[in-house]
Structure 1
Amino acid sequence: MNEFTVREFTVSSPDAGPYALAEGPDGALWFTLVHQDAVARRDPGDGRVTVHPVGAGPTVIAPGPDGAMWFTEYRAHRVGRIAPDGTYSSFAPPTPEGGPFGIVAGPDGAMWFTLSGVDRVGRVTMDGEVTEYPAPGAFPSAITVGPDGALWCALNQQNAVGRLTTDGRGTAHPLPTGGAAPVGITAGPDGALWFTEIGAGRIGRITVAGEITEYPLSDPAARPHAVTAGPDGALWFTEWGSGRIGRITVDGHVTSYALSRPDSEPHGIARHDGAVWCALETGSLARIEVTHDRTHDRSHDRSHD
């Protein structure tokens, strides 16, 4: 059967707000401290945490093709860059007060990010040149690269998933469930995109052809937030409303696992060091280690609530 080990590491004060995290090109785990206006690095060897002050409201973080980490500064309305040695710079999109949120390394050597407040998607080159395109719908949140070489984003207030080519052509795919309010999105191991429906308590799957499947969670109030592909061939997601971590196989079997506190506020989730890690806004990072058994996936998964 699948075995899960959860360990939590305190990395900040409870009011600093670890929000999102990602493995860096340097092998370290980088995470944002959204309320402390800082980005931090957890050393892969001794676990030492180094905190770097940045602009206001650092939110989502992602590795860049240049060996640095790139992140959105939601309240400063800028995109930040931090090198492994802590050197920091930031870049302003052309549209002011845009509320940048999601960010990902694109297939074209640039970073792509969402401007949730102004319904736009931005692109920034490694030398800081920023361009923008209209988003395919309202309030684009998380963004990822699909297997088709396009950018895919959750359109939170459009109740849709959007697709944007690297030359700026957008398409929206409406969701079957009203009020789904998608937030997180990631490329799955099955050639599809997987996303969270924070408003409907569901996990969604969309093929590059636009075919959508939704999987309801056992707790409709779980408020699934971020999602990532795990090291075990399944998708992992945070349940912000219930203080749990969820797992869904590519054929739709869902399990859910409790963290130390129901009010731990798990937000970002990422693969790192052979495990799944998530950011708890109460001041910790949780590491979920998985021992995988595919037979268990097919026939014995059950929901825990």
Structure 2
Amino acid sequence: MSSPRIRTFALGDPDSGPYALALGPDGALWCTLVHAGRIARLTPGGRLDEFALDSADCGPAVITPGPDGALWFTRMRDDRIGRIDTSGQSRSYALPGTGAGSGSATPYGITAGPDGALWFTRAGADRIGRIGIGGEVDEFPLPGTGGFPAFITAAGDSLWFTLNRAGALGRITLDGRVTLYPLPVPECGPVGLTAGDDGALWFTEITAGRIGRITADGGITEFPLPDPDCRPHAITAGPDGSCWFTQWATGRVARLSPDGRVTEIPLPHPGSEPHGLAFGPDGALYTALEHGGIARIEPAGPASPDCALRATGLR
């Protein structure tokens, strides 16, 4: 297959910090601008709009479509959960137990749950939170301290999350029961997390330079990447059973096929620092470049694989 075509959409402020992406119910890509306190909207036709939030310093981080037709996002620098509708109107909800704007709770990952609410991580407070579409918040403490819960995603009737500093994954039921699954190397730094088409969860190990897979019963398989220092960050399931992820340190997007082969796609600028990524309604892959805008990669299918990865099964 020929090399993919890459188009970059520039933002008004090159230092605004595109961070996370989500496909909205309106068919547009919605992107958090972590350094500017803004949310951007990119239409399939290439129109880019930006919407200012009520605080330029709120640090919008991860964003997800909600069950109410709006987009929900974490504000990691002022301890709030934000909501923006498809017309650009936004509001936010304070989290309990923190000083206003203290940033001590550090809400980070967020996802729609199977119960019609939004579930989020409080990285600085060792808690998983739940917020209803009316703004009511419940929280569930995690075992231990300093685990730094990061990304969270729904799978079946529960939620799974990564514990970046504890080297573990966790599962929480809708009534708050938590099970932890330690990874073989505690210092591996799990961050990104997605539910795969195979019924398993796939995650990135940013410190170890690996992609991991965990089954519902806790069986773990790890895939070492060609460059252990590439810093894999966010990950999403592809339309063909593969997983796509960003390599933050090397300015690449990569694909891991179901048979364990990796294809790496260099972005135009190695220092662009890709973070979040999502597939658009056009089948292309989009990624947020903290230094560079929003990149569209077409086609999203694989080129010739750079190398075959050796999978090490761990139980």
Flag whether TM exceeds 0.5 (same fold).
yes
**More divergent stretch after superposition (194-203 vs 80-89):** 80-89
**Alpha-carbon separation, structure 1, partners of 2:53 and 2:134:** 21
Q: What's the offset of the Cα at 1:3?
A: 5.3
Task: Give SS of 1:238's match.
Answer: strand
User: Who is 1:302 aligned against?
Assistant: 306
**Alpha-carbon separation, structure 2, partners of 1:232 and 1:288:** 16
For 1:228-247, what aligned pairs fall within 5 Å after superposition?
228-247=236-255
Dislocated runs of 4+, deviation >3 Å = none
Which amino acid counterpart does residue 120 of structure 2 have in structure 1?
A: F
Are 1:118 and 2:125 an aligned pair? yes
CA distance 1:207–1:2, change in 2 (3 Å): farther
Q: Decide whether the 8 Å contact of 2:23 with 2:29 is kept in 1.
A: yes
TM-score by length of 1: 0.93
User: Who is 2:73 aligned against?
Assistant: 71
Q: What's the offset of the Cα at 1:283?
A: 3.2
Q: Decide whether the 8 Å contact of 1:188 with 1:194 is kept in 2.
A: yes
User: Who is 1:127 aligned against?
Assistant: 134
User: Who is 2:40 aligned against?
Assistant: 40
Are 1:18 and 2:18 an aligned pair? yes
User: Who is 1:88 aligned against?
Assistant: 90
Which amino acid counterpart does residue 115 of structure 1 have in structure 2?
A: R
**More divergent stretch after superposition (49-58 vs 271-280):** 49-58
User: Who is 2:63 aligned against?
Assistant: 61
**Alpha-carbon separation, structure 1, partners of 2:7 and 2:240:** 18
Q: Decide whether the 8 Å contact of 2:107 with 2:124 is kept in 1.
A: yes
Q: Decide whether the 8 Å contact of 1:16 with 1:283 is kept in 2.
A: no
Task: Give SS of 1:179's match.
Answer: helix
Q: Decide whether the 8 Å contact of 2:110 with 2:119 is kept in 1.
A: yes
Q: What's the offset of the Cα at 1:178?
A: 3.4
Task: Give SS of 2:176's match.
Answer: coil
For 1:1-305, what aligned pairs fall within 5 Å after superposition?
1=1, 4-55=4-55, 56-96=58-98, 97-135=104-142, 138-146=147-155, 148-273=156-281, 274-290=283-299, 292=301, 301-303=305-307
Q: Which runs of 5+ in 1 are unaligned?
A: none
**Alpha-carbon separation, structure 2, partners of 1:24 and 1:291:** 19
Q: What's the offset of the Cα at 1:48?
A: 3.0
CA distance 1:284–1:303, change in 2 (3 Å): farther
CA distance 1:253–1:175, change in 2 (3 Å): same
Task: Give SS of 2:16's match.
Answer: coil
**Alpha-carbon separation, structure 1, partners of 2:236 and 2:19:** 15
**Alpha-carbon separation, structure 2, partners of 1:232 and 1:287:** 18
Residues 85-122 of structure 1 show CA distances to partners (whole Å, capped at 9, x for unaligned) of 12211111223131000000000000000000011010
Which amino acid counterpart does residue 289 of structure 2 have in structure 1?
A: L
Which amino acid counterpart does residue 67 of structure 1 have in structure 2?
A: G
What is the identity percentage for the equivalent residue pairs of Structure 1 and Structure 2?
54
**More divergent stretch after superposition (136-145 vs 276-285):** 136-145
User: Who is 2:313 aligned against?
Assistant: none
Q: Which runs of 5+ in 2 are unaligned?
A: 99-103, 309-315
Q: Decide whether the 8 Å contact of 2:187 with 2:208 is kept in 1.
A: yes
Which amino acid counterpart does residue 194 of structure 1 have in structure 2?
A: W
CA RMSD of aligned residues (A): 1.7
